[in-house]
Structure 1
Amino acid sequence: MDYYYYYYYTTPLALLLAWTLVQGFNLLVALTTSRNRKLPPGPFPLPIIGNLHLLGNQPHKSLAKLADFHGPIMRLNLGQITTVVISSSNMAKQVLQKQDSAFSSRSIPDIVKEENFHMFSVGWLPASHPQWRTLRKIMTSHIFSINKLDASQHLRYKKIQELVAYCKRSSQMGEAVHIDDAIFRTMLNLLSNTLFSKDLADPYENSGKEFKELMEGMMMDMGKPKLVDYFPVLKIVHPEGLRRYNSRLGKLLKLFYGFINERLEIRKSPNYQNTDVLDALITTSEQNPQEIDHMHIATMCLDLFDAGTDSSSGVVEWAMTELLKAPEIMKRVQAELIQVLGEGNAMEEADVARLPYLQCIIKETYRMHPPAPFLVPRKVEQDVEVCGYTVPKDSKVLINVWAIGRDSTFWEDPLVFNPDRFKDSKLDVRGQDFELIPFGAGRRICPGMPLAIRMIPVMLGTLLNTFKWKIEGDIEPKDLDMQEKFGLTLTKLRPLRAVPLPL
């Protein structure tokens, strides 16, 4: 026991000491070889930890402040990892559009390597990998094509009506609705019905909590690198016991494997007919096993739930929070909804085009509260020249879209929630306008964007046109808590609870 204690606590220190000596030598070499290349500016690193002490618990904010001093392309040493941070729309365009191929690989946190998840996931495979292109094509053709989304519109309408029914019951009982949970259940059941033809949560009850906690926990783990991500030399000992966190990922994959195996048994019936996405994926795997197998299917399911639930519920929750904080904006959008739809009438996807102020509100929410503040971190596989600077090989690259959305050189009064700034603007969120890129851009743009663009306006518009809303308790609008909880996605620290009132 004493030997184990000694090994567990002294080995990481010995490894770090050895690494420090090696790094000192490497620094001397770098100083003599870097005269012909210009590295991005950045804060001076401390021994061993580099610039880790500057991150804090809100890295998107800390790095935005540092960028104000060091510039829109900035280099930090986070432990062993050279990290380059992009903090302006012009620089983001350079990286995500003009030099997209050089920046298309992922920086993979150690936690994602559990079950070899990174080798099967469309979210983590390199874009240069043939399997990534195959999976992306399958995902688009079976789920996110215009024809597929048009064909499944009735399902989305049904799930939104279930959301309305849940809120009506809360209204009748005078109870507050946990907005994030309600939207999460809606998206969860929409995706589970699209994929598996079943609900994963009771649409009329506060259920699905365990699944939500698993998803949120995994997103937090992926967004907050552990010590081994900053010091890969420590992988030998894993001082933080990282594998205990990975049980979340393992549990979710086990759940999806269960659905696959269940469907394989059902498909043995001679009268069974293909009905949903899972059937289409299984059929594809049987016809082309070299393209996709059951591990790919389970991983793809996790990718879809990962991207489609937490981020969408967070956007609607932030939008509702901003509207409750600014009652005059709430009144304006509800007046627009009444004029176009009629008070209390159901909203459909085709109605969004006739609701410009609602669209402005959603864009403003994306600007101030992007779902993924750094998108998904990237990595360069070789030295890359960007605007006169060299991004060194193996650097981790962060696109601080949170900072870009609050850049005072482009946005007037960037800290004010003002949907009118988009009134006569052609800026869009589809990855062509780099001042507003909540879904990213280029070849690694979020594949679920077409679904989010359809669902989020209808969910928000339906809630606003079916009920009046009141903050739970005696909280004044100006006192609403706006603190953020940092992870791969950016959610509210304290969830919004609001009471739906009859019109």
Structure 2
Amino acid sequence: MSLLQNSFLEVPLKNALVLYNKEVVPRLTKKNKTISISVAVALSLIYLIREKVLKPPKHLRHIPYISYLDSIKAILTRESAWDRSYRVFLPEIDQKNHSIFLEQARLGWIVHVANPKDARRIFLKIDQFPKLQPKIEHKDTVSSKFLGGPNILMLNGPEWKKHRMVANPAFHRSLPVKMFGKLTQDMIKVMDEMEGTINISDLLHRWTLEAIGKAGFDFEFNAIKDRDSEWIIRYNKINQGLRDPKFFFFPLLDSKWRWMFPGRNKIHQELDIFLKMLDDVIAKKKEAIKHGLHNEVLDDNEKDLLTLMIESEESGEGGLNNEELKSTLCIFFLAGHDTTAGALSFAVHYLAQNQDIQQKAREEAIRILGDDKCDVLPTVEQTKEMTYINQIIKETLRINGPATRIIPRISTEDAEFSGLFIPKGTQVTVNIFAIQHSEKVWKDAHIFNPDRFEDGGEASQVESMAWTPFGNGARQCIGMNFSMSEQRVMLAMLLRKYTWKTPENSIHKDGPKVFGLGILSPHNLDINFQKRY
């Protein structure tokens, strides 16, 4: 017998069912509809975010990729490129065995090439992998105004070749080691006036700024003697503006929505003043050369790069207009200031941490330059004899190269890297840091060892693209020899003048603490220097 047939319960149950259908069901249905719609919308948003933002496009999903959330985390925490490379990129190649992987970058998903063999193709096939051009909507950003003009770094094809034809002879002729030596004397005088621990990374940034100003276009920033000079303050503000992660990764904040950030407008104003200064310098330099008023007594290798580029026009080698010259000078700052300062700072750090290597390098400097109790300015010929110091520089650039990757390229046709299909139109980059730190490429890759670069050493046995701090191929950094000469002069003169070590309470005692999104440098590198004379 069913429960409803029980006369005792039949009426109350019927009444309860009527009440449930009449009052409860309609309310539940309405509420459930709202819940259902909300859940559907939420799930749709989650799906769209997951499929369209957090995941690569479908045609790239066969390639291992790093979560976009990790990129956001790095931006929010201001994680340095050094720390992120160790935390994320090196495990991809040394533990997960991924020498090709994807990352969501500033201009979209980009393929990282982290092995020498595939890197070779990107470096050597410049027509298949030209430089990626900035988007039109990013034209009014600080980085675009400073770096995105018609210059040798960003152009492709015939226009790039024109710039290269003008810049190449200038860089081959310009090797102002005497000027580097005199500026090092100025820095040593400042160091001698300082007591106790010296923030050498700050001094070297000021030194390289003065060097690029003098060597680039014969302009004095007065950066070495006066850390509060007008131009060093202005340039440092611009430099900090270029490094600001929120504007770098979200360029529309720096153009369309700049009105929301009053401080950003001030950076743009400082940059406008700086660019106007370059305009004036170029105009005056052209006028002086036209009327024969520039300094003719200097040897070719001691002339500034702007003079040499303008003279190339007079000699029939072709020329650049004022806008092109200005844009090229800006690139000299990018390629010749922070990069060399960072490399020198790291070299000083590793010599402080390895007293035996420091002493061996000092003995070479003394053998070449003598041990008289006075500053000696190296000659071009003497810098070429500094074999061991050169090994130190190369090993520093391997383990702490200023650039962690190359500027993005775009694949103009379908390609294949390490068995993975790379569709036409894909952004690609060579992850220099990952290759130069990989245990698959270098033995004990995280140990500083200049002997790798001695004749017949490890560097001569690894693949040719295993060491590429300046890139490689036709688009290799045009200032490589310029920077290497700067570093040889500075290190040789410091080694003759001082011995140095890391203070016991330094944050760098157990390894360099690094900052920087793109160009790496030790943060406030404190060193104890002891004068030898």
**TM-score scaled to structure 1, two decimals?**
0.77
SS of 2:390's equivalent in the other structure is helix
> Would you say 1:378 and 2:409 are equivalent positions?
yes
- CA distance in 1 between partners of 2:431 and 2:498 (Å): 36
Q: Which residue of 1 aligns with 2:132?
A: 106
- CA distance in 2 between partners of 1:442 and 1:418 (Å): 26
Q: Which residue of 2 aligns with 1:161?
A: 182
> Would you say 1:441 and 2:469 are equivalent positions?
no
> Would you say 1:94 and 2:94 are equivalent positions?
no
**Distance 1:71-1:235 versus aligned 2 partners, 3 A rule:** farther
**Distance 1:333-1:192 versus aligned 2 partners, 3 A rule:** same
2:437 to 397, 406, 413: 406
CA contact (8 A) 1:343 1:466 kept: no
> Would you say 1:322 and 2:350 are equivalent positions?
yes
- CA distance in 2 between partners of 1:416 and 1:29 (Å): 35
- CA distance in 2 between partners of 1:304 and 1:383 (Å): 34
Q: Which residue of 2 aligns with 1:199?
A: 220
- 1:60-139 map, 5 Å: 60-61=85-86, 62-67=88-93, 68-69=95-96, 71-78=98-105, 81-97=108-124, 99-106=125-132, 108=134, 110=138, 111=141, 114-115=144-145, 118-125=148-155, 127-128=156-157, 130-139=158-167
- CA distance in 2 between partners of 1:29 and 1:364 (Å): 36
**1:107 offset after TM fit, Å?**
5.5
SS of 2:465's equivalent in the other structure is coil
Q: Which residue of 2 aligns with 1:40?
A: 63
Q: Which residue of 2 aligns with 1:260?
A: 282
- 1:35-434 map, 5 Å: 39-43=62-66, 52-53=72-73, 57-58=79-80, 59-61=84-86, 62-67=88-93, 68-69=95-96, 71-78=98-105, 81-97=108-124, 99-106=125-132, 108=134, 110=138, 111=141, 114-115=144-145, 118-125=148-155, 127-128=156-157, 130-141=158-169, 143-145=170-172, 148-149=173-174, 153=176, 156-168=177-189, 170-171=191-192, 174=195, 176-201=197-222, 203=224, 205-207=225-227, 211-212=231-232, 215=235, 218=238, 222=242, 226=246, 229=249, 237=257, 241=261, 245-247=267-269, 249-263=271-285, 272-273=293-294, 275=296, 277-279=305-307, 281-282=309-310, 292-344=320-372, 346=376, 347-425=378-456, 433-434=464-465
**Distance 1:18-1:118 versus aligned 2 partners, 3 A rule:** farther
- CA distance in 2 between partners of 1:22 and 1:81 (Å): 15
**1:371 offset after TM fit, Å?**
1.1
- CA distance in 2 between partners of 1:131 and 1:185 (Å): 33
Q: Which moved more, 1:186-195 or 1:250-259?
A: 186-195
**1:411 offset after TM fit, Å?**
1.6
- 2:109 is matched by which residue type in structure 1? T
- CA distance in 1 between partners of 2:45 and 2:273 (Å): 37
SS of 1:309's equivalent in the other structure is helix
Question: What do residues 420-439 of structure 1 show as CA deviations (whole Å, max 9, x unaligned)?
Answer: 2223446779x992111100
CA contact (8 A) 1:358 1:457 kept: yes
- CA distance in 1 between partners of 2:203 and 2:55 (Å): 56
**1:316 offset after TM fit, Å?**
0.9
**1:463 offset after TM fit, Å?**
0.7
SS of 2:437's equivalent in the other structure is coil
**Distance 1:74-1:364 versus aligned 2 partners, 3 A rule:** same
> Identity rate of aligned residues, in percent?
19
**Distance 1:71-1:355 versus aligned 2 partners, 3 A rule:** same
- CA distance in 1 between partners of 2:248 and 2:191 (Å): 45
Q: Which moved more, 1:210-219 or 1:324-333?
A: 210-219
**Distance 1:478-1:50 versus aligned 2 partners, 3 A rule:** closer
- 1:183 is matched by which residue type in structure 2? L
1:479 to 498, 509, 514: 509
Q: Which moved more, 1:55-64 or 1:371-380?
A: 55-64
Q: Which runs of 5+ in 1 are unaligned?
A: 1-16
Higher gyration radius (CA): 2
Q: Which residue of 1 aligns with 2:21?
A: none
Q: Which residue of 2 aligns with 1:459?
A: 490
**Distance 1:441-1:469 versus aligned 2 partners, 3 A rule:** same
Question: What do residues 27-71 of structure 1 show as CA deviations (whole Å, max 9, x unaligned)?
Answer: 99975xx5xx984222466xxx69644776234332233344261
- CA distance in 2 between partners of 1:416 and 1:117 (Å): 35
**Distance 1:231-1:134 versus aligned 2 partners, 3 A rule:** closer
Number of residue pairs aligned between Structure 1 and Structure 2? 466
- CA distance in 2 between partners of 1:185 and 1:234 (Å): 27
> Would you say 1:496 and 2:516 are equivalent positions?
no
Q: Which residue of 1 aligns with 2:26?
A: none
